Each structure stands twice: as structure tokens, then as C-alpha cells.
């Protein structure tokens, strides 16, 4: 029973559960936004619905794929421009990367070189 309790209370499991819940809620928001954009595109095109479902050149039904592709591209753009870009900028602003500096072994070699120069030796 102790092993099961440790498994349930493990931090990564709780974080994963929270991520799934937030991800599901966020997916609903992005889907609604995508539908809103498709509706706006439809209004721009004189009320024509953005739906390729009946398109079948040469008898091959490619319409549902095209509709899914357009929706995916809009969804990807929404996620990139409204989530990834602001997150990256905020991360750079609030958590800047520190200069890594010179690695310890290179710094030691430079120190040895400088000591040899100071003693009058040629390097």
C-alpha cells in the first residue's frame, strides 16, 4: 500500500494530471477561436462557408482532408502566435539565460598560460 501511496503522491503525476486538464480546456478555447476565424473568413468571402467537404476532383473525395488541413493551419497559427511567441518573450524577459562563461578546464589552461608568460617563458 505504501508503494501505491508514493506513486499517487509523486509530484510528476500530479503535474501531468494538471497539464492534461489545462490542455483539454485550452484545446476547447483554441477550437472555438479557430471556428470563429473560419466564420470570419466565410463572411469575407460573401457568406460562403469555408468547407471543402464536397470537393472531389476526378472522383477522389479530398474535401474533408482540405477542410481539416485549413483548420489545422489556423489552429497551428493561433497556438504559435498567441502562445509560443508570448511565452518565449516572457521567458526571455523574466528568466534571462546566464552567460555560461569559460569552462573550468579552459580557464585553468588560460591561467597556466598566463603564469608561464609572467615567468618570462615563451608560450
Label residues 25-47 b or e (16+ Cβ within 10 Å = b). eeeeebeeebeebbeeeeeeeee
According to the model, what pLDDT value does residue 47 have? 65
Q: Show the cell assigned to 23.
A: 490542455
In this model, does residue 122 exceed pLDDT 70?
Answer: no
* CA distance linking residue 109 with residue 119, whole number of Å: 16
Instruction: Write the pLDDT tens digit of every residue in 102-115.
Output: 788 888 999 999 99
Query: Longest Cα pair distance anywhere in the chain, in angstroms?
Result: 86
Instruction: Write the pLDDT tens digit of every residue in 2-55.
Output: 887 777 666 677 678 778 888 888 888 888 887 787 778 777 877 666 667 777
What is the reported pTM? 0.50
CA dihedral over 75, 77, 82, 88, signed as positive or negative: positive
Amino acid at each position: 500500500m505504501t508503494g501505491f501511496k508514493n506513486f499517487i503522491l509523486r509530484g510528476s503525476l500530479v503535474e501531468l494530471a494538471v497539464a492534461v486538464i489545462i490542455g483539454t480546456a485550452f484545446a476547447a478555447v483554441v477550437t472555438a477561436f479557430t471556428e470563429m476565424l473560419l466564420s470570419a473568413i466565410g463572411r469575407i468571402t460573401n457568406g460562403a462557408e469555408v468547407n471543402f467537404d464536397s470537393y472531389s476532383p476526378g472522383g477522389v473525395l479530398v474535401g474533408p482532408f482540405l477542410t481539416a488541413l485549413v483548420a489545422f493551419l489556423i489552429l497551428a497559427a493561433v497556438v504559435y502566435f498567441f502562445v509560443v511567441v508570448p511565452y518565449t518573450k516572457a521567458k526571455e524577459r523574466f528568466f534571462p539565460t546566464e552567460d555560461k562563461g569559460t569552462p573550468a578546464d579552459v580557464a585553468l589552461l588560460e591561467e597556466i598560460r598566463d603564469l608561464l608568460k609572467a615567468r618570462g617563458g615563451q608560450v
